[in-house]
Chains A and B, each alone.
Chain A
Amino acid sequence: MIQLHDYPLSGNCFKVRFLMDQLDLDYQSTLVDFYPGYEHKSPRFLKINPLGQLPVIEDNGQTIRDAQAILVYLATAYDTSGTWFPRDRQGEIYQWLAFADELTGSISAARLHDAMFYSLDVAKARARGTKLLRIVDEHLWFTEKDGHDWLVPLPHPTIADVACLPYIALAEEGGIDLAPYPSVARWMERFMRLEKFKPMPGMMPLEMPKETP
């Protein structure tokens, strides 16, 4: 069974849990005391991931770190539908996986500063996060205009959406207002209505009627 080194309040761990649920994979979470214990920086954990970061999975004798890399691994190994990481769209998808890393370095950093007292330049992190939100909002506005719902214009979500969703949805926890980004709000709502979506603390799914009369 897949082992996930997991912290329930990590957006990067959320991505991996979400995709494993979508793919109906059995997995076991090993809880890591990220805060206040900083167990991910302990000598024992650094043997598993020398970067001292979550998540990490262990599967079939392999240890894989980095949320985005894990999404690629899981989709490649287990997605029989071929929709989460389609072969002919991988360039576009990788572009958004790199974008997700930028979200981790900005919005997630601001959130860790505000809630858990990480020492960093929070004004700079918020400014970068705001710039990224403008970029994704504009992209989604044009995507919607062409009749599409997801970051990569396909009839279904891909791991690009999975990678970008959590830290965008958690932006307000880092003191970044989401109100100016209406296309982002609609995209988040579509994502949160996907089957088996389980919000993590800090995500505010709007309860909308599933069918309009």
Chain B
Amino acid sequence: MKPDSFTHSQWYAIGRIGDFEGANAKPVRLLSQDLTVNNSAGVLSVADAEGRSLQSQIRYGHLWTTLSDNPRPLYDMPEFDEPDRRLVTAGGVGVRCSGLRCVENFLDMAHFPFVHTDILGVEDHSTVENYDVSMDADKDEIWATKCKFFQPLASAAATGGQMTEYKYRVPHPYSTILYKTCPIRENVWDLVGLFIQPVEEDECIVHSFILVFDEDNTDTGLLHFQQNIFLQDRMILENQVPRKLPLDPRWELPTRADASSIAYRRWLKANELQWGIALFDKAA
């Protein structure tokens, strides 16, 4: 299937800047197309299989490109300009499912006690309290706010259990960012996010980052905390059936705890997104 216009018009992260060091040309795959990242004396450029040059930019620690000549602007994250924050990029991880499924899993709090047991949740505190979901119509993005969850080890800097407050943001069909209570500073948010590179309709590479205030952990410590969590998710994601995201309500039934996912699916439908979507199959 050819990507629909909503999918086609986006910017996509295709690697960390450092991933393209040391080679003149590196193949990457995006939206079922083979692309090449060329490195000419440290200047990166992207070309498609016919050698046509694509637009690219470096932002948020990653190289971004687009198949579109007239892409939607890449969303803003002003927190990247704040002093004292530490950025750790975790490197791409391959996952055999639609990148849309990865966004949805990231928005889901109900799985914390069962998949991230004793880290992001405990089985005795499995309730997802009501939270608010809203659309920012100006920016065309989704926000889930006032999310609260009991977490025994909310981040690498946490020293014990805490009621963690979350906000989730979905500014892009393949990106999502979590804003969570910083365990060591008042009134600021730590950021954790996914930039997903859709490789095929049912296959993706997940680039993730954390942007936090943390004075104690090494970069490797922060990295391993993040990788541990994501590899726990990967196992669940690869066992979901179908591998593409089903939008038909006859296939998967949401509950109140899935309010953010309901909004996400509605938003994808409203934008007529089709690439990466499973069509309802009566036999399944």
On A, residues with C-beta under 8 Å from B are 7-9, 31-33, 35-37, 39, 114-117, 172-173, 175, 201-202, 204
Contacts and interface: CB of A to CB of B under 8 A. Distances in A.
8 contacts: A114-B94, A115-B93, A115-B95, A117-B92, A117-B94, A173-B235, A201-B227, A204-B235
Contact of B220 (A32, A116, A172, A173): A32
A35 B227 CA distance: 9
B221 interface: yes
A172 B232 contact: no
> 6 smallest A-B Cβ distances: which pairs?
A36-B91, A201-B231, A201-B232, A31-B220, A33-B220, A8-B224
B91 A202 contact: no
Contacts of A114: 94, 96
Contacts of B93: 115-116
Contacts of B94: 114-117
Contact of A31 (B89, B91, B221, B230): B221
Is chain A's interface secondary structure helix, strand, loop, or mixed overall? loop
Contacts of B219: 33
Is chain B's interface secondary structure helix, strand, loop, or mixed overall? helix
A117 B228 CA distance: 18
Nearest to B218: A31
A36 B235 contact: no
Contacts of B90: 36
Interface of B: 16, 18-19, 89-96, 218-221, 223-224, 227-232, 234-235, 238-239
Given A31-B221, A36-B89, 12 more contacts: A9-B231, A31-B218, A32-B220, A33-B223, A36-B16, A36-B18, A36-B92, A114-B94, A115-B231, A173-B234, A173-B235, A201-B229
Contacts of B229: 201
A202 B239 CA distance: 11
B228 A8 contact: yes
B155 to A, nearest CB: 15
Contacts of B89: 36
Contacts of A7: 224
Contact of B224 (A31, A172, A204): A31
Nearest to A6: B224
A202 B231 contact: yes
Contact of A115 (B223, B224, B234): B234
Nearest to B19: A36
Nearest to B123: A207
Contacts of B224: 7-9, 31
A172 B234 contact: no
Nearest to B221: A31
A202 B96 contact: no
